[in-house]
Protein backbone atom coordinates (compact mmCIF):
# COMPACT_ATOMS: atom_id res chain seq x y z
CA UNK A 1 0.00 0.00 0.00
CA UNK A 2 1.60 3.22 -1.14
CA UNK A 3 1.81 6.26 1.09
CA UNK A 4 -0.39 9.19 0.10
CA UNK A 5 -0.21 12.95 0.45
CA UNK A 6 -2.69 13.91 3.18
CA UNK A 7 -5.11 16.73 2.40
CA UNK A 8 -4.41 20.01 4.18
CA UNK A 9 -6.66 20.39 7.25
CA UNK A 10 -7.73 23.83 5.87
CA UNK A 11 -7.97 25.48 2.47
CA UNK A 12 -4.74 26.75 0.87
CA UNK A 13 -5.84 30.37 1.30
CA UNK A 14 -6.92 29.95 4.94
CA UNK A 15 -3.66 31.17 6.50
CA UNK A 16 -2.97 34.15 4.22
CA UNK A 17 -4.21 36.72 6.73
CA UNK A 18 -1.94 35.16 9.34
CA UNK A 19 1.30 35.27 7.37
CA UNK A 20 1.37 32.13 5.22
CA UNK A 21 0.05 32.82 1.75
CA UNK A 22 -1.71 30.50 -0.70
CA UNK A 23 1.34 30.29 -2.97
CA UNK A 24 3.51 29.11 -0.07
CA UNK A 25 1.02 26.42 0.93
CA UNK A 26 0.36 25.26 -2.63
CA UNK A 27 4.08 24.82 -3.34
CA UNK A 28 5.00 23.50 0.06
CA UNK A 29 2.18 20.96 0.23
CA UNK A 30 1.48 20.25 -3.42
CA UNK A 31 5.08 20.23 -4.69
CA UNK A 32 7.56 19.70 -1.83
CA UNK A 33 5.54 17.35 0.36
CA UNK A 34 4.20 15.49 -2.68
CA UNK A 35 7.76 14.98 -3.94
CA UNK A 36 8.79 13.36 -0.64
CA UNK A 37 5.79 11.00 -0.79
CA UNK A 38 6.50 10.08 -4.41
CA UNK A 39 10.20 9.46 -3.71
CA UNK A 40 9.35 7.40 -0.61
CA UNK A 41 7.01 5.15 -2.62
CA UNK A 42 9.58 4.76 -5.41
CA UNK A 43 12.33 3.79 -2.94
CA UNK A 44 10.03 1.26 -1.24
CA UNK A 45 9.40 -0.55 -4.53
CA UNK A 46 12.88 -2.06 -4.31
CA UNK A 47 12.73 -2.72 -0.56
CA UNK A 48 10.24 -5.54 0.06
CA UNK A 49 11.49 -5.93 3.64
CA UNK A 50 9.71 -2.64 4.43
CA UNK A 51 6.40 -3.51 2.78
CA UNK A 52 3.55 -3.40 5.26
CA UNK A 53 5.58 -1.35 7.76
CA UNK A 54 4.12 1.82 9.21
CA UNK A 55 5.76 5.19 8.56
CA UNK A 56 6.94 5.29 12.20
CA UNK A 57 8.52 1.84 11.82
CA UNK A 58 10.28 2.84 8.60
CA UNK A 59 11.69 5.99 10.22
CA UNK A 60 13.02 4.15 13.27
CA UNK A 61 14.47 1.28 11.19
CA UNK A 62 16.25 3.53 8.69
CA UNK A 63 17.62 6.13 11.13
CA UNK A 64 21.43 6.37 11.07
CA UNK A 65 21.72 3.58 8.49
CA UNK A 66 24.14 4.80 5.79
CA UNK A 67 22.59 2.58 3.11
CA UNK A 68 19.07 3.83 3.92
CA UNK A 69 19.67 7.59 3.98
CA UNK A 70 17.30 8.26 1.09
CA UNK A 71 14.55 6.20 2.63
CA UNK A 72 14.99 7.92 6.01
CA UNK A 73 15.00 11.40 4.49
CA UNK A 74 11.81 10.91 2.49
CA UNK A 75 9.97 8.99 5.21
CA UNK A 76 11.01 11.61 7.77
CA UNK A 77 9.94 14.48 5.57
CA UNK A 78 6.55 12.83 4.95
CA UNK A 79 6.05 12.44 8.72
CA UNK A 80 7.32 15.93 9.53
CA UNK A 81 5.21 17.74 6.94
CA UNK A 82 2.06 15.79 7.85
CA UNK A 83 2.68 16.88 11.45
CA UNK A 84 3.50 20.46 10.43
CA UNK A 85 0.16 20.98 8.62
CA UNK A 86 -1.57 20.09 11.88
CA UNK A 87 0.72 22.48 13.77
CA UNK A 88 -0.79 25.43 11.87
CA UNK A 89 -4.24 26.96 12.26
CA UNK A 90 -6.28 29.86 10.91
CA UNK A 91 -7.10 30.50 14.59
CA UNK A 92 -3.52 29.94 15.76
CA UNK A 93 -1.57 31.61 18.51
CA UNK A 94 -4.06 31.04 21.33
CA UNK A 95 -2.73 28.72 24.03
CA UNK A 96 -5.40 26.65 25.84
CA UNK A 97 -5.33 26.78 29.64
CA UNK A 98 -4.27 23.12 30.01
CA UNK A 99 -1.17 23.70 27.87
CA UNK A 100 -0.29 27.15 29.23
CA UNK A 101 -0.34 25.81 32.80
CA UNK A 102 2.12 23.08 31.80
CA UNK A 103 4.26 25.62 29.90
CA UNK A 104 4.46 27.89 32.95
CA UNK A 105 5.32 24.91 35.13
CA UNK A 106 8.14 23.68 32.87
CA UNK A 107 9.53 26.89 31.29
CA UNK A 108 8.64 29.47 33.95
CA UNK A 109 6.42 31.56 31.65
CA UNK A 110 4.86 31.61 28.19
CA UNK A 111 7.39 34.28 27.16
CA UNK A 112 10.29 32.07 28.29
CA UNK A 113 8.84 29.17 26.27
CA UNK A 114 8.53 31.33 23.16
CA UNK A 115 12.03 32.70 23.59
CA UNK A 116 13.54 29.23 23.86
CA UNK A 117 11.55 27.98 20.87
CA UNK A 118 12.51 31.06 18.83
CA UNK A 119 16.17 30.54 19.70
CA UNK A 120 16.12 26.86 18.69
CA UNK A 121 14.31 27.58 15.42
CA UNK A 122 16.53 30.48 14.41
CA UNK A 123 19.83 28.80 15.34
CA UNK A 124 19.14 25.51 13.54
CA UNK A 125 21.90 25.91 10.95
CA UNK A 126 20.68 25.19 7.43
CA UNK A 127 17.53 23.13 6.97
CA UNK A 128 15.57 21.46 9.70
CA UNK A 129 12.81 21.67 12.28
CA UNK A 130 12.15 23.00 15.78
CA UNK A 131 9.84 21.07 18.10
CA UNK A 132 7.91 21.30 21.32
CA UNK A 133 8.07 17.82 22.83
CA UNK A 134 6.94 16.04 25.95
CA UNK A 135 10.21 14.54 27.13
CA UNK A 136 10.54 11.08 28.61
CA UNK A 137 10.93 12.77 32.04
CA UNK A 138 7.37 14.12 31.71
CA UNK A 139 8.52 17.71 31.14
CA UNK A 140 8.00 19.89 28.10
CA UNK A 141 11.17 20.63 26.16
CA UNK A 142 12.31 22.37 22.97
CA UNK A 143 14.44 20.44 20.50
CA UNK A 144 15.67 21.01 16.98
CA UNK A 145 16.52 18.47 14.29
CA UNK A 146 18.47 18.75 11.05
CA UNK A 147 17.08 18.06 7.59
CA UNK A 148 14.51 15.23 7.81
CA UNK A 149 15.07 14.06 11.35
CA UNK A 150 12.49 14.30 14.12
CA UNK A 151 11.88 13.47 17.82
CA UNK A 152 10.65 9.99 16.89
CA UNK A 153 13.99 9.12 15.29
CA UNK A 154 16.11 10.91 17.90
CA UNK A 155 14.26 9.56 20.93
CA UNK A 156 13.43 13.09 22.12
CA UNK A 157 10.00 12.13 23.42
CA UNK A 158 6.54 12.80 22.03
CA UNK A 159 6.22 15.61 19.48
CA UNK A 160 3.53 18.17 20.32
CA UNK A 161 4.20 20.98 17.81
CA UNK A 162 6.68 21.76 15.06
CA UNK A 163 7.80 24.48 12.71
CA UNK A 164 9.55 23.84 9.41
CA UNK A 165 12.64 26.05 9.09
CA UNK A 166 13.66 24.95 5.59
CA UNK A 167 13.83 28.07 3.43
CA UNK A 168 10.98 26.83 1.23
CA UNK A 169 8.68 27.20 4.26
CA UNK A 170 9.08 30.97 4.55
CA UNK A 171 10.91 32.47 1.59
CA UNK A 172 7.83 33.73 -0.27
CA UNK A 173 6.27 35.33 2.83
CA UNK A 174 9.35 36.45 4.76
CA UNK A 175 12.25 36.17 2.28
CA UNK A 176 15.42 35.61 4.34
CA UNK A 177 13.90 36.80 7.64
CA UNK A 178 13.63 33.49 9.46
CA UNK A 179 13.31 35.15 12.91
CA UNK A 180 10.22 37.07 11.74
CA UNK A 181 8.70 33.87 10.35
CA UNK A 182 9.26 32.13 13.70
CA UNK A 183 7.79 34.97 15.73
CA UNK A 184 4.77 35.05 13.41
CA UNK A 185 4.40 31.27 13.76
CA UNK A 186 4.43 31.43 17.57
CA UNK A 187 2.02 34.36 17.82
CA UNK A 188 -0.39 33.84 14.90
CA UNK A 189 -0.10 30.40 13.28
CA UNK A 190 0.82 27.81 15.90
CA UNK A 191 -2.00 25.36 16.56
CA UNK A 192 -1.71 25.13 20.34
CA UNK A 193 -5.07 23.32 20.43
CA UNK A 194 -3.40 20.47 18.53
CA UNK A 195 -0.43 20.50 20.91
CA UNK A 196 -2.76 20.50 23.94
CA UNK A 197 -4.69 17.51 22.53
CA UNK A 198 -1.41 15.61 21.99
CA UNK A 199 -0.38 16.45 25.57
CA UNK A 200 -3.74 15.22 26.91
CA UNK A 201 -3.34 11.90 25.07
CA UNK A 202 0.21 11.37 26.33
Binding site for Mn ion (CB under 5 A): 164, 166
- Please state the separation of Cα 68 from the chain's center in Å: 22
- Please state the separation of Cα 178 from the chain's center in Å: 16
Give the residue closest to Mn ion by C-beta. 164
Interstrand relation of 140-146 and 128-134 (parallel, antiparallel or unpaired): antiparallel
Closest to Mn ion by CB, 30 vs 138, is: 30
**Are the CB atoms for 91 and 12 separated by under 8 Å?**
no
CB of 182 to Mn ion, least distance (A): 14
- ∠ CA 137-141-147, nearest 5°, is 120
Closest to Mn ion by CB, 33 vs 102, is: 33
Closest to Mn ion by CB, 107 vs 131, is: 131
CB of 156 to Mn ion, least distance (A): 19
**Are the CB atoms for 60 and 154 separated by under 8 Å?**
no
CB of 129 to Mn ion, least distance (A): 9
Closest to Mn ion by CB, 140 vs 164, is: 164
Amino acid sequence: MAFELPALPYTANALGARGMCQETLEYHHGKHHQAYVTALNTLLESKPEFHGKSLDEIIKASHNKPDLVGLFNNAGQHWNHSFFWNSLSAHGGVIPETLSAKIVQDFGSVDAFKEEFRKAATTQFGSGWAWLVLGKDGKLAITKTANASNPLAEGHGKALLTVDVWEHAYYIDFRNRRPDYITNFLDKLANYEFAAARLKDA
